[in-house]
Amino acid sequence: METRAAGWARRMPHTPLWWDAFTAHLKTHRHTFYAADALTHAARLVIDTGTADPHTLLTHSARTSPWLSRPLTDFFHAHRLLDTPNGTKNPQAAARRERRIQAVPAPLRPAVRAFADALVAQRHNAERLGLRPNQLKTIEIRLDTVRDLALHIHAQGHPSWASVNVTDLEAFLARNPARRASWLAGLRQFLSHAHRTGLILHNPRRCPDRPPATRLQRAHPHSR
C-alpha cells in the first residue's frame, strides 16, 4: 500500500495533505485488495478534478465511481474534513471561493485551486488541533490577490506560473499602492506554497540574482 501510495503521490500534480492519512485509514478499515483499488481510484479522481477538496471529490465520485464514495466519506468524516463548524457560512464561502477560482485564466487555474485547497485544509487542521484557524474572509482575500495577479500576468503573456519573476511582481504591486500591503501578504503565501509544491523552481520573492533589498521586499518593510 505504501509503495502504491507513494507512486500515485508522485503522479498527482499536488499531493493532498490528507493522502498519507487516507492510506493508513484504508489499511486498517478495508481489505487489502479493496483498499488498493480505492487508493488508485481516489488518486485518479484527484488528478481528473484537479482538486483535493473533500466535498468536490465526493460530488464527482458519486457520478463516476459510486462505490468510492463510501470509503472517502468514512475517511473524511473520521478526520473531520467534512465538518461545517460555521453552519451555513461554509457552503456560501465555498461558492465564493469557487467564483474567484473560475475567474482565473484556465492555464493558471489549477495552481490557484490547489492553493485554495491548501488554505482550507490548514483551516480544518487548526480547528482539529484547537488552534486559531484562518478566517474564511482571510482566505477569500488571499484568493482575490492571486486571482488579480493571475489576470495581470496572463495579460502580459505568461503561459504559466513558472515564468513569473520579481519584475512581474513589482509591476503588479505598483498598480494599486493602497492595496500593496494586503497584496504582498497574499503573494508571499502563494509563492511559498507554489515553491513548496514544485510549481515554481525558484521563489521570485527570493530571486538570488537580485540584491537582497529588492523593491518587492521594500514594498512593505514591516511585513514578514
The percent of residues above 70 in pLDDT, for the chain, comes to 84
| pLDDT over 90 at 81, yes or no | no
Question: Which three cell numbers mark 166?
Answer: 520579481
Q: Are 84 and 136 in contact (CB under 8 A)?
A: no
pLDDT in tens, 84-125: 444 435 778 888 999 999 999 999 998 899 888 888 888 877
Q: Alpha helix (H) ranges present in the chain?
A: 2-11, 19-29, 32-49, 54-64, 66-78, 89-102, 109-128, 136-155, 166-173, 180-196, 215-218
Closest CA to 113 of 180, 30, 57, 179: 57
pLDDT at site 128 = 64
**Average pLDDT value for residue range 123-143:** 81
pLDDT in tens, 170-208: 999 998 888 888 899 999 999 888 887 777 766 665 533
CA 195 from chain centre, in angstroms, equals 12
* DSSP string for residues in 38-66: HHHHHHHHHHHHT---HHHHHHHHHHH-H
Mean pLDDT of 49-53: 86
Cα 83 to its chain centre, rounded Å, is 19
Stated pTM of the model: 0.55
**Torsion sign over Cα 173, 178, 180, 182:** negative
Contact, 112 vs 150, CB < 8 A?
A: yes
pLDDT classification of 157: cutoffs 50, 70, 90: very high
- Is the pLDDT at 209 greater than 90? The verdict is no
Mean pLDDT along residues 30-51: 89
- Assess whether pLDDT exceeds 60 at residue 215: no
**Of the candidates 77, 79, 72, 81, the residue with the CA atom closest to the CA atom of residue 39:** 72
Cα 104-216-118 angle, rounded to 5 deg:
40
Q: How confident is the model at residue 210 (pLDDT cuts 50, 70, 90)?
A: very low
